[in-house]
Structure 1
Amino acid sequence: MVLEQSVGAVIKLRPVEGIAEFLLLRNRRGFWGFPQGHKEKGETEIQTLVREVKEETGISELDIRSYIGKITYSYYRGDGVRSDKEVRFYYATTPTKEVKISEEHADFTWATLKDAFSLLDHAKLRQILDRGHQKGLY
Structure 2
Amino acid sequence: MVKQVSSGAIIFNENNERKYLLLLKGKYFEFVKGYIEEGESEKETVKREVGEETGITEMEFVNGFREIYTFAYKWNGKLIFREVILYLIKTKIEQVNISYEHDSFKWLTYQEALNIISFKNMKEILTKANNYLDNSLNKYI
Shorter-chain TM-score above 0.5: yes
What are structure 2's unaligned runs of at least 5 residues?
none
CA contact under 8 A between 1:68 and 1:132: conserved in structure 2? Answer: no
- Structure 1 residue matching 2:45: 3-state secondary structure: helix
2:82 equivalent to 1:85: yes
Show CA shifts across 1:30-60 (max 9, x none): 2001111111111000000000010000001
- Which of 115, 119, 122 pairs up with 1:118? 115
Show CA shifts across 1:49-107 (max 9, x none): 00001000000111011323100111111x21111100011111001100000011000
Runs of 4+ in 1 over 4 A off after TM superposition: none
Residue type matched to 1:68 in 2?
R
Please show how residues 40-59 of structure 1 align to structure 2 within 5 Å: 40-59=37-56
Alpha carbon RMSD of aligned pairs, Å? Answer: 1.3
What are structure 1's unaligned runs of at least 5 residues?
none
- Structure 2 residue matching 1:124: 3-state secondary structure: helix
Identify if the C-alpha distance between structure 1 residues 68 and 133 changes in structure 2 by more than 3 Å, giving closer, same or farther. farther
Distance in 1 (alpha carbons) for counterparts of 2:101 and 2:84: 18
- Which of 20, 38, 62 pairs up with 1:22? 20
- Structure 2 residue matching 1:103: 3-state secondary structure: coil
Residue of structure 2 equivalent to 1:4: 4
User: Relative to structure 2, which stretch is displaced further, 101-110 or 125-134?
Assistant: 125-134
User: % of aligned pairs identical?
Assistant: 33
Distance in 1 (alpha carbons) for counterparts of 2:130 and 2:55: 26
The total of aligned residue pairs comes to: 134
- Structure 1 residue matching 2:99: 3-state secondary structure: coil
2:89 equivalent to 1:103: no
2:57 equivalent to 1:60: yes
Query: What's the TM-score, normalizing by structure 2?
Result: 0.90
2:30 equivalent to 1:33: yes
